């Protein structure tokens, strides 16, 4: 067994904390610098989504990160219990954003998909969102 679980508040400061922590966790298998950078970027996207969309920047919200390394594959699950996504398929389209006036690029899921080997999104309005990503790291 090799797992990592963290719960933090939905604070902006936790964006860099969580991506660095998951990157450091993955580094125990000596992946390339590029693989660690990819993981950090994908984690940052998911955590930012939870803060900005899930909790609408309310720091009382809790973000859970659960990681596992098994057979050289890193699995990262990032969950919130925020407002959820009504239409996951639509949210995953390139450039789709509900916050057009705030200069959000609408590319969060696109980047998660491109930078990781797999991406699954589970969500329901009022219940929250879980993003599950995997990447071969060794």
Partner 1 sequence: MFDYTLKYRTLVAYIGGDIDHANAPQIKISLDNLIKTESFDNFVLDLSAVTFMDSSAVGLIMGRYKTLKAMGKSVSFARPSSVADKVLKVSGLYTIINKI
Using CB under 8 A as the criterion, which residues of the chain lie in contact with partner 1 when the complex forms? 12-13, 15-16, 19, 34, 37-38, 40-41, 44-45, 48, 51-52, 102-108, 110-111, 114-115
- Please say whether the beta carbons of 41 and 115 come within 8 A: yes
Question: Which is the catalytic residue, given 14, 15, 19, 49?
Answer: 49
- 15 has catalytic annotation: no
Q: How far is the CB of 32 from partner 1 (least distance, A)?
A: 11
- Please say whether the beta carbons of 104 and 94 come within 8 A: no
What does the alpha-carbon distance between residue 126 and residue 135 come to, in Å, rounded to a whole number? Answer: 29
Q: How far is the CB of 118 from partner 1 (least distance, A)?
A: 16
Measured from the Cβ of residue 109, the count of other Cβ atoms closer than 10 Å reads 21
- Please say whether the beta carbons of 125 and 87 come within 8 A: no
Q: Look at residues 111, 9, 109 and name the one whose alpha carbon lies nearest to residue 49.
A: 109
Comparison of 37 and 62: residue with beta carbon closer to partner 1 = 37
- 45 has catalytic annotation: yes
Comparison of 8 and 37: residue with beta carbon closer to partner 1 = 37
List Cβ neighbours of 124 (8 Å cut-off, separation of 6 or more).
Answer: 84
Q: How far is the CB of 26 from partner 1 (least distance, A)?
A: 15
Question: Which is the catalytic residue, given 9, 66, 68, 104?
Answer: 104
Query: Which residues participate in catalysis according to the annotation?
Result: 45, 49, 104
């Amino acid at each position: 067994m090799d797992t990592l679980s963290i719960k933090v508040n939905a604070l902006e400061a936790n964006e860099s904390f969580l991506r660095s922590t998951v990157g450091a966790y993955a580094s125990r298998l000596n992946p390339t610098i590029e693989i660690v950078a990819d993981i950090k970027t994908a984690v940052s996207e998911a955590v930012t989504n939870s803060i900005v969309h899930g909790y609408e920047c309310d720091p009382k919200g809790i973000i859970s990160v659960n990681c596992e390394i098994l057979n050289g594959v890193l699995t990262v699950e990032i969950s919130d219990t925020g407002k959820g996504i009504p239409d996951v398929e639509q949210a995953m389209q390139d450039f789709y954003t509900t916050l057009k006036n705030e200069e959000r690029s609408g590319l969060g899921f696109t980047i998660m998909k491109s930078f990781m080997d797999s991406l699954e999104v589970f969500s329901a309005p009022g219940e929250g969102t879980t993003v599950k990503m995997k990447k071969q790291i060794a």
